[in-house]
Structure 1
Amino acid sequence: MMASTDGRATTVATKVEVGGNACGVAVSGDTVWVTDAKAAKLVAVDAASGRVRARYAVSATPCEVEVAAGSVWVTTQSGVVDRVDPRSGKVLASVATGAASYETIGALGAVWVSNRNGQSITRITPATNKGSTRSVGEVNAGGLVEEGGYLWVGDDTTGASAILRIDPRSWQATPVPTGGDRPGYVAATNGRVWVSNVKSGTVTGLDTTTLAPVGPPAPAGASPVNLKASADGKWVWVPDDVGDLVTRIDAATGAAVERVQVGAGPAVVAPSADGVWVTHFDDGSVWHLVLR
């Protein structure tokens, strides 16, 4: 564990036992949405109290969660993304995707899904719940984010060393080197994209205009995975699912400034107004980390 180098400290404010395999997490208003991959449930947690309000059935092996177009979108390993009504918990639609879908985002008037084993991206039109899928070549599409009008796609392949920048209008794809091995996961702050190089144990910041690295890669544990930017864009939070740590990176400098010990198998993080929520796949919990 690394002590803070910027005079601030992250503490654990809340621990919630969800059960099973807590995988994806998203925050919307006073609700924290968590998926249980083992039980195929979407769990609604009260953000203030940490109380589990409800558990809703979804398709098998759910993980990543996105709140967009008035709905909760649950990425599953069942060949579909479930669109869930946040008020009733009812699955409004199950939209077909490619194989082993990984991440879903709402951006540019649509909902986009990365399909890792399908080496493709699915575009869903929220008004119709219709999806169309396009190839990304020989790239195992992992993390997905939008910044500057482009889609940025991680390559979750050991030995890969570049992510893709895709123009969603022309579908022109530009490889962008990251300086690391298996750049599978991506996040964005204003004018920058951040990449977890899983096998290298580092995070690279990329300038979205020049495509050049922002400083040297930052160390981020043994296996940095589903990183996310803070709500104000000042920090990038990176879970290490092998070392049971979360690293905080300064988005201005690209340097790691704190490393926090968390639970077993941290998988996904989601920003809150005062910190970040982190799921733990191995022990079935979600924690709220608060930055003081």
Structure 2
Amino acid sequence: MVDPAARRAFVACSRDNAVAAVDLDRCAVVWRAEVGREPIPVVLDPPTRRLFTADARSDTVTVLDADTGGRVAQLRVGSYPAGLGHDVARRRVFTGDTASGTVTAVDADSLEVVGTVRAQLGAGSVAVDAGTGRAYCVNFMSASLTVFDSGTLRPLGRIPVHDGPCKAVLAPDGRTLYVTESLPGTVARVALPGGRVVGRSPAERAPVGLHASDDGRWLYVCNRGAGTVGVHDARTGGEQHRITVGNGPGDCAVDPATGRLLVSNAGSGTLTVVDRPWMPGGRPAAAHPAEGRPLPGFSLPDAFTGRVRTSREWAEKKYVIDFFASW
């Protein structure tokens, strides 16, 4: 979870029962707070500056002050909450309760449980379309998505998908829902509002986490079984390249200020930061016009002797030029 305004990222440390706040500019941990057992996802509610974690093995949601890490509350929800969803407009935070097959709705302001939705076994990640008020909960063990109204909590239907759906993410335009299907190793594209699967693209082993870029161009797919992130073209569905990260990458997010991809690696307890993740190997999208051409001749005065040196002196030799800024 990225907070671009405060220049922080928040990471659930499942094996340590904690949440860490990371300074995005310094890449340093600024605070660490204990929560319930096995926190999996984290969501930030900007109006209240509160963090919500789903603590799977405690059957709780822990609420923290996003600026200090201080505990605000801890709420009892369904059994084994392994996913979260957030509707800022309707002031709701949702937990997908895996073992009980329910979605618990929490009022983001009063911090009270306001109702539940009957989902299916393996309920987890919840994606919310703020424009329509429709919410989509993945059901890992039931190979489906439960659709419900995020305001009234009224069930609206069910969308079948392939086995092991782990995370659902909306495209920025709200017309497509992307779903990682971890067991067959695919990413499904679901057309909205009809809820029909219109295509799939192969991913590497056990895709679980997922992030859609703000411009709708890229999907970043965390392949937990391979230690990689696949970069998929959201328009065509094809994987363009893969990025090697840490062990067991669980989820990812993009810092909108820098374009860097942040990947939380559950297996190695690390956060991988990737610069320009949409480019294979971090190379520029287009070569510079001078790339591959002979070095043009130039001359510069020697900083120590004042003698003018020319590039001809090093012709056919290997050399390093250090352009040093004195400030």
- TM bucket (normalised to shorter chain) is 0.7 to 0.9
Whether the 8 Å contact between 2:81 and 2:96 is mirrored in structure 1 is yes
Q: Structure 1: which 5+ residue stretches go unaligned?
A: 1-7, 258-292
User: For 1:137 and 1:64, how far apart are their aligned partners in 2?
Assistant: 18
Whether the 8 Å contact between 1:178 and 1:195 is mirrored in structure 2 is no
Which residue matches 2:139? 115
User: For 1:87 and 1:70, how far apart are their aligned partners in 2?
Assistant: 7
Write the mapping of 1:83-94 to structure 2, written as runs, cut at 5 A: 83-94=105-116
Which residue matches 2:127? 105
Compare CA radii of gyration and give the structure with the larger one.
Answer: 2
Q: Structure 2: which 5+ residue stretches go unaligned?
A: 1-24, 283-327
Which residue matches 1:198? 224
User: For 2:149 and 2:234, how far apart are their aligned partners in 1?
Assistant: 26
User: For 2:61 and 2:153, how far apart are their aligned partners in 1?
Assistant: 20
What is the aligned counterpart of 1:31 among 26, 37, 50? 50
User: For 1:58 and 1:16, how far apart are their aligned partners in 2?
Assistant: 20
Higher strand share: 1
User: For 2:187 and 2:74, how far apart are their aligned partners in 1?
Assistant: 36
- Give CA-to-partner distance per residue, 1:175-227, whole Å, 9 cap, x none: 4334412223211102211111222221111122222333x200022211122
1:72 paired to 2:93:
yes
Please give the TM-score of this superposition, normalised by the length of structure 1. Answer: 0.77
What is the aligned counterpart of 2:245 among 220, 223, 238? 220
Which residue matches 1:14? 31
Whether the 8 Å contact between 1:143 and 1:154 is mirrored in structure 2 is yes
Letter in 2 for 1:50: G
How many pairs align? 247
Which residue matches 2:65? 46
Helix, strand or coil at the partner of 1:127: coil
Note closer, same or farther for the CA distance 1:140–1:133 as it changes in structure 2 (3 Å cut): farther
Whether the 8 Å contact between 2:161 and 2:197 is mirrored in structure 1 is no
Write the mapping of 1:149-160 to structure 2, written as runs, cut at 5 A: 149-157=175-183, 160=184
What is the aligned counterpart of 2:211 among 187, 195, 198? 187
Whether the 8 Å contact between 2:62 and 2:73 is mirrored in structure 1 is yes
Q: How many Å apart are 1:239 and its aligned residue?
A: 1.5
Helix, strand or coil at the partner of 1:117: helix
Letter in 2 for 1:202: T
RMSD (Å), alpha carbons: 2.2
Deviant stretches of 4+, over 4 Å: 254-257
Identity %: 18
Please give the TM-score of this superposition, normalised by the length of structure 2. Answer: 0.69
Note closer, same or farther for the CA distance 1:14–1:88 as it changes in structure 2 (3 Å cut): same
Whether the 8 Å contact between 2:166 and 2:182 is mirrored in structure 1 is yes
